[in-house]
Structure 1
Amino acid sequence: MGKNRQLSVADVAYRPSLSAPLGMDVLGFAELSTRGSRRGLDLAAPLRPDFHHLIHVRHGPVRHTVDFQDFTLDSGSWLWVRAGQVHQYVPRDHPSARGTIVIWQPGFVPAEPLRHDSPMLPTGRHARSTSLALRHLVHEYGDLAAIPLDAHIEALRHLLSVLLLRLAHACPPPAAPGPVSDVFHSFRTAVERDFAASHHVSDYATALGYSARTLTRAVQSATGSSAKQYLDARILLEARRLLVHTDATSAEISRRLGFPDPSDFTKFFRTRDGATPLRFREAARGRAPG
């Protein structure tokens, strides 16, 4: 490899169709492929969009990978891919697949209650309710000229919120430790922004105006883990992404994630993963380590 390695994870900015309302868009699998080709994106390669995807499969299966988890979405399934997650489509599934993909920028809806990390399959009356909520959203999305643009966008905000709430109640997340407090939400946002710059819970506590104990209680209630475990898990996830999806060396990844020395990164990774960064990369890429 040369010295100037190119990261193979494509950061994808939100770029809706010209007729889409500000902040949200609706498309099918065929349109997804068309847009990917137009933007020079390989849908089978790792992509990191800065917007949310809510994928509904009417006719499947559709295979999808999100942060090292392989999913098969059968007919009737839903999958939420959050902004910032690394995911990959299997384009050869698209010709026979039918479905709807709703994409939106973070903040388009005031709250995002859906926290599932795996496919959802509503059944019975929940399946009908979520289907109706999606149909109403799609209808409003296509009825752009019926009401003023501001009202149209506001209607879409509410309809998307209804769809997310319907899904959240149709498929409650398993074994949720507790409610998500404002304290945890603030910590989660700060970690997502600063995990490569600060590895200490005390730094976040000072910046947010809470004690470290308050942060730990809030994280424990929401996730079942300590604040330090939550922070370390976020750093570890990014390290795994870079090891698998890029050709950056361990030293380069160490610098990118804010470790003062590559040996500190190796120790951090081995303690939490059980393998060295190199062995993890080789195993994840299907090569037996020597």
Structure 2
Amino acid sequence: MDVLDFAELRIRGDRRGIDLAAPQRPDFHHLIHVGAGTLRHTVDFSEHVLGPGSWLWVRSGQVHQYTPEDLAAARGTLVIWKPGFVDAEVPFEQGPLVPEGPHARAAQLALRHLTHEYADLSSIPLQAHIETLRLLLTVLLLRLAHARPDAPATHRPGGTFAHYHAAVERDFADTHRVADYAAALGYNTRTLTRATLAATGMTAKQYLDARILLEAKRLLVHTDAPAAEISRRLGFREPGDFSKFFRKRDGRTPQWFRAVARGATRAAESTENPTTR
């Protein structure tokens, strides 16, 4: 794991030739805390504005982008760790969190303790140091989890939607049929739809399609794979089926989305949209 401030992040980016404004899809978690100033941060194509006291957990596998001018002006801390380093459950709610009162103080204290122990490499054996970091990060994540308002029962581990969510995350590239998930989980489709509507405001099919669309966007932006290859990875029988699916839900062709999301052509937005051809 790693703990660094925004200034160090910029230094490392410059040293390694990493464009922090470009889409990134790392295989590790980021926990961002803003201490002062404002940081705009885009996660899976949604921009979040983080003010002082804000926290944002960017999960492994999500596509995210920094705003360099904000990163230069704001002050804050970034905690990075590989999946499996701690057992803390990733929160269903993915937006920024601003703890209040005792929750804010406890989270700050946990972060200060984690930062202190991270910098202290010599006073205890290495294995004890690593275990200390693991436990302190767990404390911080638990504090943040309990700083959120109580989640609906449908979001909690063991609920119908929680089971469906986990199955979709695991199998969305293998099957696009809600009936298959219902059969595998021992529910009927109406039960899954009721639970998903209560948890997300979407039907079970809409939720599944949104997850497939999100993965398509991640692959289009973060890889150079052609649409036909992405279609295959996502379980579509034909590339044309994937293009129809994408265009119906996003309003653009996969190629057009890729060009705009990457900023490949700023002028493109003022020219004819190829989806209308």
Change (3 A) 1:282 1:42: closer
* Aligned with 1:65 (options 18, 42, 64): 42
Please state how far the C-alpha of 1:211 moved relative to its aligned partner.
Answer: 3.0
Task: Describe the SS at the equivalent of 1:127.
Answer: helix
* Separation (CA, whole Å) in 1 of partners of 2:86 and 2:225: 36
Change (3 A) 1:279 1:33: closer
5+ long unaligned stretches in structure 2: none
1:167 aligned partner: 144
Please state how far the C-alpha of 1:152 moved relative to its aligned partner.
Answer: 2.3
Task: Describe the SS at the equivalent of 1:47.
Answer: coil
Output the amino acid matched with 2:2: D
Please state how far the C-alpha of 1:63 moved relative to its aligned partner.
Answer: 1.5
Aligned ranges for residues 1-290 of structure 1 at < 5 Å?
A: 24-112=1-89, 114-172=91-149, 177-181=154-158, 188=165, 191-200=168-177, 210-211=185-186, 213=188, 216=192, 220=196, 228-244=205-221, 249-273=226-250, 276-277=253-254, 280=257, 287=269, 289-290=273-274
* Separation (CA, whole Å) in 2 of partners of 1:70 and 1:244: 16
Output the amino acid matched with 1:211: G
* Separation (CA, whole Å) in 1 of partners of 2:108 and 2:240: 52
Normalised by the length of structure 2, the TM-score is: 0.79
5+ long unaligned stretches in structure 1: 1-23
Deviations 1:136-158 (A, max 9, x none): 11122222222232322222222
Question: Is the CA contact (8 Å cut-off) linking 1:259 and 1:265 kept in structure 2?
Answer: yes
Output the amino acid matched with 2:55: W
Question: Is the CA contact (8 Å cut-off) linking 1:177 and 1:224 kept in structure 2?
Answer: no
Task: Describe the SS at the equivalent of 1:177.
Answer: helix
**Identity across aligned pairs (percent)?**
62
* Separation (CA, whole Å) in 2 of partners of 1:107 and 1:222: 26
Question: Is the CA contact (8 Å cut-off) linking 2:41 and 2:48 kept in structure 1?
Answer: yes
**Aligned residues between the structures:** 265
- Name the Cα RMSD after superposition: 3.3
Normalised by the length of structure 1, the TM-score is: 0.75
* Separation (CA, whole Å) in 1 of partners of 2:37 and 2:181: 44
Please state how far the C-alpha of 1:279 moved relative to its aligned partner.
Answer: 6.0
Please state how far the C-alpha of 1:105 moved relative to its aligned partner.
Answer: 1.0
Task: Describe the SS at the equivalent of 2:105.
Answer: helix
* Separation (CA, whole Å) in 1 of partners of 2:118 and 2:54: 22
* Separation (CA, whole Å) in 2 of partners of 1:218 and 1:164: 30
Output the amino acid matched with 1:160: L
1:3 aligned partner: none
Please state how far the C-alpha of 1:41 moved relative to its aligned partner.
Answer: 1.8
Change (3 A) 1:173 1:263: farther
